[in-house]
């Protein structure tokens, strides 16, 4: 596929319905978002249980998400394209508009070096009530997964998931454009 040199593990991404299999390179670069190392304790059988990420470590089960609602993944139709102005290494690339059965989806992806640090949905399908409900949920979930997938601390995320192929395709096009 790409003539790019190989730098990390390969993360294949596809969808059951239409597996045009976008291959997403998962780079070894360390994402800083998740600070706490999972202290692997209580190893029973095949698994152990670690600590959650920093910031929620002390709560005894209360999952009131409260304030820290990161802006990633929510549809803020604002900062379109161009370079993000923060650190000189950051670059934001706007992915292609991909059509889904519910309407168009378009993402902008911010890279810091080889690491994806933010994904913003510039357009999400909202043609029908049903699809709004799906996208309110699905886009943040997918953003979390895409970010987590290249984090040094979390390899993958378990959760109830729904998505469209369009998300993956727009994400892939942004990665491809970066080259």
Q: Show contacts with another protein in window 152-171 (CB under 8 A).
A: 153-165, 167-168
What stretch of H or E contains 37? none
Among 29, 30, 149, 176, binds another protein (CB under 8 A): 149
Q: x/- site string to another protein, residues 96 to 115, per CB under 8 A?
A: --------------------
Q: Which is nearer to another protein, 48 or 81 (CB)?
A: 48
73: left (phi over 0), alpha (psi -120 to 50) or beta: left
Closest separation in Å from C-beta 153 to another protein: 6
CA distance 111 to 109: 6
Show contacts with another protein in window 23-52 (CB under 8 A): 23-24, 26, 38-52
Question: Tokens representing 44?
Answer: 């029973």
* Interaction between residue 175 and another protein (CB under 8 A): no
Distance, CA of 91 to chain centre: 16
> Which of 95, 135, 140, 169 contacts another protein by CB under 8 A?
140
Judged by CB under 8 A, the residue of 21, 82, 177, 178 near another protein is 21
- Residue pair 169/20 in contact (Cβ under 8 Å)? The answer is yes
Smallest gap from Cβ 51 to another protein, in A, equals 5
Pairing state of beta strands 90-94 and 22-27?
unpaired
When binding is defined by CB under 8 A, the residue of 7, 32, 70, 80 that contacts another protein is 70
Residues 57/44, Cβ–Cβ less than 8 Å: no
């Amino acid at each position: 596929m790409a003539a790019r040199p190989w730098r990390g593990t390969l993360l294949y991404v596809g969808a059951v319905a239409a597996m045009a299999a976008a291959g997403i390179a998962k780079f070894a670069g360390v994402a800083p978002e998740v600070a706490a190392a999972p202290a692997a304790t209580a190893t029973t059988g095949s698994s152990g249980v670690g600590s959650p990420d920093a910031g929620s470590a002390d709560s005894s089960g209360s999952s009131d998400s409260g304030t820290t609602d990161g802006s990633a993944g929510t549809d803020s139709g604002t900062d379109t394209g161009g370079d993000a102005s923060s650190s000189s290494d950051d670059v934001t690339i706007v992915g292609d508009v991909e059509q889904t059965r519910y309407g168009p989806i378009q993402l902008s992806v911010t890279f810091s070096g080889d690491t994806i640090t933010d994904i913003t949905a510039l357009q999400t399908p909202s043609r029908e009530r049903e699809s709004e409900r799906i996208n309110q949920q699905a886009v943040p979930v997918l953003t979390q997964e895409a970010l987590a997938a290249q984090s040094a601390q979390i390899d993958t995320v378990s959760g109830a998931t729904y998505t469209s192929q369009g998300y993956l395709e727009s994400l892939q096009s942004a990665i491809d454009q970066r080259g």
